[in-house]
Amino acid sequence: MPDTPLIVLFVKAPIEGQVKSRLASVLGQDIALDLYRNFVLDILASVENSGIPCTVCYHPPEHSETVKNWLGAHRRYMPQEGNDLGERMELALRRSFSEGASRVVLIGSDLPDLPPELLKEAFVSLLDNGAVIGPARDGGYYLIGFRSDAFLPAVFRGVEWSTDTVFAQTMAIFERKGRQVHALPPWQDVDTIDDLKDLRERNRGPACNAFRTMTYLHTIDTDLFPSEVRDANV
Predicted confidence (pLDDT) per residue in 173-212, tens digit: 999 999 999 999 999 999 999 999 899 888 887 767 899 9
Phi-psi region of 223 (alpha: psi -120 to 50; beta: other; left: phi over 0): alpha
Mean pLDDT of 118-141: 97
Nearest residue to 46 via CA among 129, 130, 105, 131: 105
Q: So what's the pLDDT on residue 226?
A: 55
Q: So what's the pLDDT on residue 234?
A: 39
Q: Any residues with CB less than 8 A from the CB of 33 and at least 6 apart, and which?
A: 14, 15, 16, 19, 20, 24
- As a whole number of angstroms, the distance between CA 174 and CA 190 comes to 26
Q: So what's the pLDDT on residue 19?
A: 96
User: Are residues 12 and 18 in contact, defined by beta-carbon separation less than 8 angstroms?
Assistant: yes
Q: So what's the pLDDT on residue 219?
A: 86
- As a whole number of angstroms, the distance between CA 94 and CA 124 comes to 21
User: Are residues 36 and 210 in contact, defined by beta-carbon separation less than 8 angstroms?
Assistant: no
Domains of the chain, each with CATH number or no CATH: 5-232 (3.90.550.10)
- Asked whether the predicted pLDDT for residue 168 surpasses 70, the reply is yes
